[in-house]
Amino acid sequence: GLDELRRLVDQQKMALLEMARLQEESNSKHASSRREVDELTRFLQRLDQRLSSVGEEVRSESLRENLQREQTMSTTQSEWDGRLAALRHEVSGLATQVSLERSVEQSKAELTKLVLESESRLGEDLSTLQHRLMAEFRAETAGSSRTQAVTMGEWTAKLEELQRELRLDVAKQIVASESQLGEELGHLQQRLISELRAETTAAFRSEAAAVAALDEQIWLTDQRLGQRIDELLHLRIRDVEREVVAERRHAQQTHPSPVVVKRAPTPTVTTKYADRHSPRGDASGKTVHVRTGAERGVESIETMVEYIDGELGSRSPRSVVTTETFTDGHADHADRVRWSPRGEDTSRRRINGGRSTDFHGQEGFRHRARESLMEAQNDGSGERERRDHTEGRTWTSERPFTGTFLAALDTEARDREREFGRRREREFGRHEA
């Protein structure tokens, strides 16, 4: 029974919902119908207004037509009245036309008579006037010819006098203009010359300033380029050092073998400086004792030191540069000295015998070798000769030791060693020759 009750309740709810839906639909239809009725009402109102306006237009049109008809009829009536009056006037004028013709003929006859009389009197007056005018003209012509002759002579004399005065005035003005023009031309020439000199001087000064600025820029560019080249060279040297140290470590780790430790003899280096302050450009010499520093696992070390006449970083294009080259080579070529003069630059190469090794293979031994050279050069010997010189660059290049571990190097390394040996032999052969 409960389920049935629930079912009935549900049906009632559904019926209520359906009724609500139907009511909403009817409401919407009722609203739409009301809107349609309103629209129809408004449409009927518009139709009524239109009909009333049309009726008014019809009534006004009929009134207008009636007025036009009445006006046309009145115009026609007035035209007929005018024509009738004209006919009446013509009929009344026909009676007086005959009398008018007669009076006109009489007037013509009188006028002809008067014209003939006036012509005769006018001819007589004209002949009398002509004779009188001819006499007066002859008298005036005779007097005017005499006065004209006198006047022409006076005018001719006055004209000649004016021409002479005009020539004199023109000549004076020409002379004055020439003198004034000469003075003005002279002043103008002087002014133009002075302006040209001033402009030329200013142009020369500006050109000189531009050239000086360009020279300064070129010099600064050269300085920056030199510094950049030095930086790149130092970077390259460090890269080569790292490669050599890495190869040496690899070779020592791969093939450890006893090597002989030898200390190269302390070489004696003679350095010449070319001082540009000397009147004759003579070079002064000094002796520097170079210590080899720590034991090095190399076959040859080449250290180059560049000295600059002036402060570091401000070298001018005319600075004097002295370059030193130190090379530890084979014992067969010991104590051989070669000089290579290059104008104001003086360079020197010294080859010392000896061979040394470095058990530790520490990175940075080149720096110690350079520091040893710097200590030897700054120990007081030749200090007076190097007073006005500044060390510009110092760099070192060396040849790795090719002892017992040469066999462990790869083919490319051995080829480089052979090429280096042949090149150095050719160089020594040129030095001996």
Q: Where are the domains of the chain?
A: 255-432
Q: Residue 106's pLDDT band (boundaries 50, 70, 90)?
A: confident
Nearest-angstrom CA–CA distance, 103 and 379: 168
Residue 380 scores a pLDDT above 60: no
Residue 31 scores a pLDDT above 50: yes
Contacts for 263 with CB less than 8 Å, ≥ 6 apart: 292, 295, 354, 356
Q: What is the pLDDT of residue 297?
A: 40
Nearest-angstrom CA–CA distance, 433 and 431: 5
Q: 3-class DSSP state for residue 433?
A: coil
Residue 433 scores a pLDDT above 50: yes
Q: Which residue has better confidence, 356 or 115?
A: 115
Q: What is the pLDDT of residue 272?
A: 38
Asked if residue 254 lies in contact with residue 313, where contact means CB atoms within 8 angstroms, the answer is no
| Burial degree of 173 (CB within 10 A; 0-12, 13-18, 19+) | exposed
Nearest-angstrom CA–CA distance, 3 and 9: 10
Q: Residue 281's pLDDT band (boundaries 50, 70, 90)?
A: very low
- Reported as half-sphere exposure (CB side, CA atoms, 13 A), residue 379 has a value of 13
Q: Residue 326's pLDDT band (boundaries 50, 70, 90)?
A: very low
Nearest-angstrom CA–CA distance, 334 and 352: 5
DSSP class of 356: B
**pLDDT digit string (tens) for 155-186?**
788 888 888 888 888 888 888 888 888 888 88
Lowest mean pLDDT among 124-138, 213-227, 262-276: 262-276
**Which value, in Å, is the radius of gyration of the alpha carbons in the chain?**
70
Q: What is the pLDDT of residue 220?
A: 92
Mean pLDDT of the chain: 64
**pLDDT, mean of residues 32-55:** 76
pTM of this prediction exceeds 0.75: no
Contacts for 394 with CB less than 8 Å, ≥ 6 apart: 303, 304, 305, 306, 370, 373, 374
Give the percent of the chain with pLDDT over 70. Answer: 49
Q: What is the pLDDT of residue 193?
A: 92
Distances (CA, A) of 107 to 101, 117, 378: 10, 16, 161
Nearest-angstrom CA–CA distance, 67 and 71: 6
Asked if residue 358 lies in contact with residue 297, where contact means CB atoms within 8 angstroms, the answer is yes
| Strongest mean pLDDT among 39-43, 83-87, 221-225, 334-338 | 221-225
**pLDDT digit string (tens) for 208-233?**
999 999 999 999 999 899 889 988 98
DSSP class of 96: T
Asked if residue 286 lies in contact with residue 271, where contact means CB atoms within 8 angstroms, the answer is yes
